[in-house]
Copies of this chain bind each other. A is one copy, B any other.
Amino acid sequence: MLESIRRWAARNLDDRQVALLSELTSYARRDILRMTTEAGSGHPGGSLSSVGIYLLILAALDAENGDQLVVSHGHTAAGIYAALGRMGFVEPEKVVAGFRRKGSPYEGHPSLQVPGISWCSGALGQGLSVGCGFAAAARQQGKDSRIYVVMGDGEQSKGQLSEAREFAVSHGLNRLTAVIDYNRQQASGSLENILPQQIAAKYRAAGWTVEQVNGHDFSALYQALKRAEGNSCPSVVIAETVMGCGVPGRENDYTFHGAPLSREKLESCTLGLKGTGPRMPKKETAALSGFRGLDGGKRKVYPADAKTDLRSAFGTALLDVARSSQGKGLAVFDCDLMESVKVSDISKEFPASFYESGIAEENAVTTAAAMAKAGMVTFAAGFSAFMIDEVYSQLRMGDINHAPLKIAATHCGLDVGEDGKTHQCLDYLSLLSNLRHMQVLTPADPNQTDAMVRYMVQSGEAQCLCMGRSKTAVLTNEDGTPFFGKDYQFRYGEGHWLRRGKDAAIITFGMMAPKALEAWEELRRRGIEVSVYLISCPGIYSPEDIKATANTGLVVTYEDHFVESGIGKDIGAFLAQNGLFCKLACLGVKEYGCSAKPEELYQMQGLSPADLANVIIRGISS
């Protein structure tokens, strides 16, 4: 009788539906108490207040319509699992037995392995951005899906929500409905005692429609959700609830947030319920659209005498790809830097694929990750200091969700020059190395950039394309032809021998490659023959190639990155772990630079081609 509440009852639930939802909620509450006590951990308080909201929305979800539910306050995992159990998505008894146990999908925070869970949450304040991403993806995919995001009240203090509110309004995501479990209790005390906030006022100020209802009154909640469907703006329903609802003596008790009942208490508190309780017939939500990828198009070959910056090569390639797909399946995010990061042409030609996100990178990255998860080829472009350092937590959560997000990070390294230390991103490889599914691509010239972009749009994996700011030369073979010529196709993990020599090996990546070739030239004049080996995907190393560099007897790593957290350390560890014994010198950035031209900054840190040549000369003779 609950299968299609939305279509069955236009305005209200009938008494039988309310009675059934109430009964399901009671049993789901007992499930919550049992699973948290059995596990000896978890978060019963908020799960008990949220579970009715979950049950109603799960009942109302129209799978054919592609509707989705996002749980933002992931610590109510027990609540959503219990609701999924009673609503026919999973087996209630398996949830109770498996919650927070080794080998079970019912992890402490919502796990993607559980049917009905569309996004793994746990870091608070990100769910509304996820909802924005799902809603935007559905719209671009021609679906009329309704996206529900259930949030806690405590997490309303997270700044990312402010960004998401404005993004949703700016982009007209009117199919988005948020529900806040307003139980007024947090982990450490009441909302008023922790950080007072005017929740309704914040949403109204951003242009949302706000309703406040009794969150335990299914009719009232349902009607509010129905009204939200008709709004010409995003809607939020503040659902007044009771933390620990239904448990005698523990209602409105903040200490119930993260501490289960003891076994003895549980015995005396089965909520008067007996038997296994009711459970709805098997139900499934719509899967998010799968990744399709875009046609990579035809490689653009920059001639040997071209000189451009890599971000322009990126923008040119992406525009080319966008044109062949007419923007279909593509989403591009910008954070008020569209000229600098070279996506302004896309904003003009394909406005429906372009998401201007303002100076609000956290929402931009989470929203983009969610769009990627929902099947769109999604790029987020920005300065690396803001598209990597500023949003590490958002990247990490996107990674845990295995969202195939594409980051275009420009202005890496000292190469940013005069903007100075706040803008010199010297730690990007270090941060990115912790993301389990993010492929790190460091193009060394415009041709390689072009090839990498065409790879990215076809790949179902996440990538970060790390580029500098300055104009740079096209890498060439010794005969002067482009090294990455028309037949070059990027293959993930592949390194390249730019030059071969027996006396020593330089290992480098990205925009230091032309400087390494300058050193090679200088050394050749002096009769020293060195190899120059180019890493294209830091973190992935060919054992044979690294062994070959070690066989020269002297390896010198050379990078525009903090020396203690870049490829030098990787290579050093690789040599030690593999018993490859050779001399090793690591050249990299020792300290943030001041404001100066990149060439000056490199000189100040001993990173000029002449410095590199000298290190090799000294290394060979030592």
Interface residues of A (CB under 8 A from B): 39, 41-42, 74, 100-104, 106-109, 111, 120-125, 154-155, 157-163, 166-167, 169-170, 186-188, 193-198, 201-202, 204-207, 258, 334, 336-340, 344, 356-360, 362-363, 385-386, 389-393, 396-397, 400, 417-423, 426-427, 430-431, 433-434, 436, 539, 562, 564-565, 568-577, 579, 581, 583-586, 591-592, 594-597, 600-601, 604
Report how far A579 CA is from B619 CA in the complex, Å: 13
User: Shortest beta-carbon distance, A604 to chain B, in Å?
Assistant: 7
Other than the known A122-B423, A188-B336, what 15 A-B pairs have Cβ atoms closer than 8 Å?
A102-B594, A102-B604, A107-B594, A109-B423, A123-B386, A157-B162, A158-B159, A162-B202, A389-B392, A400-B421, A400-B592, A433-B565, A569-B570, A572-B572, A572-B573
User: Shortest beta-carbon distance, A161 to chain B, in Å?
Assistant: 7
User: Shortest beta-carbon distance, A82 to chain B, in Å?
Assistant: 16
User: Shortest beta-carbon distance, A157 to chain B, in Å?
Assistant: 4
User: Shortest beta-carbon distance, A560 to chain B, in Å?
Assistant: 14
Can you report 27 residue pairs joining A to B where beta carbons are below 8 Å apart? A100-B596, A101-B596, A102-B601, A107-B420, A108-B595, A109-B421, A122-B419, A122-B420, A122-B422, A124-B359, A157-B163, A157-B359, A158-B359, A159-B160, A159-B161, A205-B205, A389-B392, A389-B393, A397-B422, A400-B421, A430-B434, A431-B431, A539-B564, A572-B575, A575-B576, A577-B586, A579-B581
Report how far A400 CA is from B597 CA in the complex, Å: 20
Q: Are A577 and B572 in contact, with the CB atoms below 8 A? A: yes
Q: Which residues of B have CB within 8 Å of A562?
A: 434
Q: Which residues of B have CB within 8 Å of A422?
A: 74, 109, 120-123, 397, 400
* CB contact between A337 and one of B100, B187, B581 (< 8 Å): that residue: B187
Q: Are A188 and B344 in contact, with the CB atoms below 8 A? A: yes
Top 9 closest A-B pairs, CB basis?
Answer: A122-B422, A159-B159, A195-B358, A572-B573, A102-B596, A201-B205, A427-B434, A162-B162, A572-B576
Report how far A128 CA is from B618 CA in the complex, Å: 51
Q: Are B574 and A583 in contact, with the CB atoms below 8 A? A: no
- In the complex where A360-B158, A565-B430 touch, is A170 in contact with B196 (Cβ < 8 A)? yes
Interface-centre pick from A111, A205, A433 (highest chain B CB count, 10 A): A205
Report how far A157 CA is from B570 CA in the complex, Å: 38
Q: Are B359 and A592 in contact, with the CB atoms below 8 A? A: no
Q: Are A197 and B166 in contact, with the CB atoms below 8 A? A: yes
- In the complex where A108-B418, A169-B196, A356-B195 touch, is A592 in contact with B433 (Cβ < 8 A)? no
User: Shortest beta-carbon distance, A470 to chain B, in Å?
Assistant: 12
* CB contact between A188 and one of B167, B337, B595 (< 8 Å): that residue: B337
